[in-house]
Amino acid sequence: MPTAKPPEGLAFDRIPTPAGEALVMWDAAGLLRVFDWGGYEPRMQRLLARHYGPVTPKTDRAPAALRTALAAYFDGDLASIDTIECATGGTTFQRTVWAALRDIPAGQTESYGQLAARIGLPKAVRAVGLANGANPIGLVVPCHRVIGASGSLTGYGGGIERKRWLLSHEGAAFRLAA
């Protein structure tokens, strides 16, 4: 069952980036609703349906401010994605986790346990992991900055190699799996 009413004026674009093709959707107010990666369209559609029910966005060119902020991020201005305004469906708990993700600065990482503790629910590590995995606005809501308690890379909806690329781009410390 959807958690929110479908946004008005939903539009879709594909944007090339050094980390691969980005899939973006925004609403009539210009709020980013989806950021995903090329090759992950089925996952993106599942998340959209879960949040809003069936949606059919129009194809359009992404707003200039969104394109500019993303280009700046990939050119090294890592804080530029912090200026992108977003909106999501999701449960209250998911939105709490996603808001906390935006508080992790570029170049830093947190474990699922640290994130759970920071939102005041230290025993909710698995629920935090599930919310992290249901994040419809990857990169901008930086779920890639969440790593295992040992400092190792854990799953990422855009693929582990892309997570490695993003964290390296941001200068974050992590361990490679043995």
pLDDT at 154: 85
User: pLDDT confidence of 144, banded at 50, 70, 90?
Assistant: very high
64 and 110 share a domain? Answer: no
How do residues 67-105 score in pLDDT, each as one tens digit?
A: 999 999 999 999 999 999 999 888 999 999 999 999 999
> What is the SS3 assignment for 73?
helix
Which residue carries 């190699």 as its tokens? 161
61: domain range?
Answer: 11-83
User: How far is it, in rounded angstroms, from Cα 85 to Cα 46?
Assistant: 22
Cβ distance 159 to 166 under 8 Å? no
pLDDT at 7: 81
What percent of the chain is predicted at pLDDT more than 70? Answer: 96
Is 4 among the domain residues?
no
pLDDT at 44: 86
Q: Mind telling me the catalytic residues?
A: 143
72 and 123 share a domain? Answer: no
CATH classification of the domain holding 135: 1.10.10.10
Total tally of structural domains belonging to the chain: 2
73 and 24 share a domain? Answer: yes
Which residues are registered as beta bridge partners of 23?
Answer: 14, 36
